[in-house]
Chain A
Amino acid sequence: METLVQSIVSGVLTGSLYAMIGVGLTIVFGVMRIINMAHGDMVMLGMYGAFWAHASWKMDPFLSIVLWVPAGFLGGLFIYRFLLRKIVPAGELNTLLYTAGLSLFVANLALLIWSGDYRTIKLPYAIMPLRPMGIAVPIPLAIAFGLAILVTAGLYWFLVHTDTGRAVRATSQEPEAAALMGISVGRISMITFGLGTALACGAGVLLAPSLYLYPTVGEILVAKCFVIVVLGGLGSVPGAIAGGLILGLAESLGAVYVSVPYKDAIGFVIFLLVLLFRPAGLLGGGKS
């Protein structure tokens, strides 16, 4: 029983971060039909941002989120404006290949600058886990969980209650109708890409104290991202949140009840099954 509760708790903790990354990927897909292969590399940049803020400026890695989320937003605007804008009309496959190029470029630039050595952030308060009712909760993951909920809820609020957020959702549902209603689709696309990148960087910052850092970590993260957004239905924000939690739970329960070495494969198997039998996602909200 305790094992079950323990794996559910750690599944939800990791799942919240997966959800945050997935939401970033899914809003970008919803508005622009871009499957962003470089999304994982944005997470990687966030991780290194937190690492360097800690190593050079003695800043708490979690605190550095106030720096890297706006930086990610600006970076996203820049990437969209100068790199992606002309590619988007060429279709989904071309943007897929283009962002794959961007991903390889960013990852290898990071390798060149920071080398492929593994790094970790050592926090004095992270040594002993919290033990409420005998369940081990690693402190960095607990903080990350809290902040991830805060950021994701903030984004949700933005999408539901602000004019710009409504415009984003309208563009995601029907770009042409949105344009006819006077929404500047180009501007909304740029903002959405900025938001997606900001979420990825923010998730990277939150993950940094709990994971090993190396420049190609984005490769595996982006693969997990696809699992998450396809689970929830591409383009659906609640779907991505659910997908993130499902993947987190599937991995932690799978590690206990199926097999540790194959825990990463479980996600991919679910992914294939969903793609084949429920292409609009488990919740049915996505676009296939």
Chain B
Amino acid sequence: MKTVFTVLALVALLIAPLIVTDPFYVHLMIMVLMWTVLGVAWNILGGYAGQVSFGHSAFLGVGAYSTMILYLNLGISPWYGIVLGGLVSALIALPIGLICFRLRGPYFALSTLAVAEIVRLVALNWESLTNGPVGLLITTLPPVSLWGEPLNWESKTPFYYIIALIAAGALGITFLLARSRLGAYLLAIREDIDSAEAIGINTVQARVSALALSAFVAGVGGGFYAMYLRYVDPDAVFSISLSVEMVFIAVVGGLTTVIGPFIGAVFLVTLGETFRTHFLWGHLVFYGLFMMVAIRYMPEGIWGRVRKLIGNRVGVQNG
């Protein structure tokens, strides 16, 4: 049953741009998938490991800047650069994890907020590398041919397939994580860190691994973001509100579920982007509203609730 759903979903993902041709909707699908990736990244740490971070924009931003700088300064094609950007993010995450994981619960959350602000200020002021508040801009992407046909970067379709691939990969990572030994460790840490420690789990190592994995996925999402917009500046990729958006997508969609972040992204990003076409400012107003509603009435999120309602019948307990 589940395999059927997965195959159907992949087919739908593959043919979606053939059916939907309106540029706004293609853009919408790209944004939904990109935020799925970012929500997945946050869910690995905030959901599975239960470590609430308010600083994930740091990893998104480092990934975005790395991809951009590697392309501009070293001429490394973004299609490797996106992955390298993710790796740089994961690398940055190691010292951050070792510092912040000495703290627990809300204190951890506050410390990640502080770290992200420090990273933002570094990006803002390290002008020789980041070009400061002006940001970095690329005008052309390197030509790529697929089956003899050069890809048209002016159309959005190639971006759609790239982010669809990344999103499928990110969801696959969560799926595997949930079934791995590390995933089990993380759940134990989330439930009761002292007991997890007592039964011999190296909780620092497990949490740092989760953070690095989470940062990698966020960094890859950031690299894509930079290439899609062809532009990065500190406010665009390091702002606190980006971190908060990631949190909300994961929580509203359903924490500790594989496809929760996708559901959250479909719901919130569609609302946000539609709102943006009608009003100039304030497109995140519904994010805040639904976050409050979700915490109050269904802390398990949309997908968590759906799974509870239909779970026993269709057998998707682990989905």
Which residues of A come within 8 Å of B, CB atoms?
35, 83, 86-87, 90, 92-94, 96-98, 100-113, 115-116, 215-216, 219-220, 223, 226-227, 230, 261-262, 264-265, 268-269, 271-272, 275-276, 279, 288
Contact = CB atoms under 8 A, between A and B. Distances in A.
A98 B124 contact: no
Given A97-B295, A268-B117, 10 more contacts: A90-B299, A97-B52, A100-B291, A104-B248, A104-B291, A111-B285, A112-B279, A115-B280, A269-B118, A275-B103
Contact of A279 (B52, B107, B285): B107
Interface in B200-244: 239-241, 244
A101 B114 contact: no
Contacts of A90: 295, 299
Contact of A223 (B114, B280, B283, B288): B114
Interface size classification for chain B: 35 or more
B56 to A, nearest CB: 13
Contact of B109 (A93, A219, A265): A93
Contact of A103 (B111, B280, B288, B295): B288
Nearest to B115: A272
B162 interface: no
Question: Which of B111, B247, B280, B292 has most A Cβ within 10 Å?
Answer: B292
A108 B288 contact: yes
A96 B109 contact: yes
B137 interface: no
Given A101-B292, A105-B285, A275 B121 contact: no
Contacts of A271: 110-111, 114
A101 B291 contact: yes
Question: Which of B103, B115, B117 has most A Cβ within 10 Å?
Answer: B117
A105 B289 contact: yes
Contacts of B102: 276
B107 A288 contact: yes
Contacts of A94: 295, 299
Interface in B280-315: 280-285, 287-292, 294-296, 299
The 3 tightest CB contacts between A and B, nearest first, are A105-B288, A101-B291, A112-B282
Contacts of B244: 100, 103-104
